[in-house]
Amino acid sequence: MKRLLLIILLLVSSHANALVTDQLMMVRSSQSFPETMATLQEAIAQQGYKLSRVQRVDIGLTRSGYQTDKYRIVFFGKTDEVHQLTKQHPDLVPYLPLKIAIFAEGDETLLITANPLAFAKMYPQKDLQRMFQRWYKDVKHILEVVQNAE
């Protein structure tokens, strides 16, 4: 998974401002890594989500030969929603909480996440469809806030 994200990031043109596909959403920030991380955490909170944890990924990458100390995965969600979903739809557990990978690339910072609408194909229930739409709008807004921050 870690290598796949890194490969995807490297394949995307360094001039791309935003990328939204059926499977992925990505933006580039002109802020430094620490500033982008702070902006991301603020944007997550402003959308009503709670930061669950921030996981360092760079240790494994360094062991694999990559030279970076600025690669994290930010986990976030709405506590009650996550608890309810794990009870009603335990098959969603691997996708919870939501997550955004943040990676420094030169003077810029990239953010990439799974497109929540991709889950809609796997889970056709109407209640979940509405939730996936809301997650998409929320994540899109979070990424736009980060991308437009100066």
Cβ(74)–Cβ(102) below 8 Å: yes
* Nearest in space to 114 (alpha carbons), one of 23, 8, 22, 6: 23
- What percentage of residues in the chain have a pLDDT greater than 90? 62
pLDDT score for 58: 65
Largest CA distance in the chain: 45
With a cut of 80, say whether residue 74 has pLDDT above it.
yes
With a cut of 50, say whether residue 16 has pLDDT above it.
no
- For residue 33, what are the domain limits? 2-148
With a cut of 90, say whether residue 71 has pLDDT above it.
no
CATH of the domain at 83: 3.30.310.70
With a cut of 90, say whether residue 43 has pLDDT above it.
yes
pTM, 2 dp: 0.81
Beginning with the edge strand found earlier in the chain, give each strand of the sheet holding 98-105 in spatial order.
Answer: 18-20, 24-29, 108-114, 98-105, 71-77, 50-56
| pLDDT tens per residue across span 128-150 | 999 999 999 999 999 999 999 97
Structural domains in the chain (count) = 1
pLDDT score for 99: 97
Cβ(108)–Cβ(30) below 8 Å: yes
- Tell the residue number behind the tokens 């802020």, with chain if given: 31
Q: How confident is the model at residue 59 (pLDDT cuts 50, 70, 90)?
A: low
Mean pLDDT of 64-79: 83
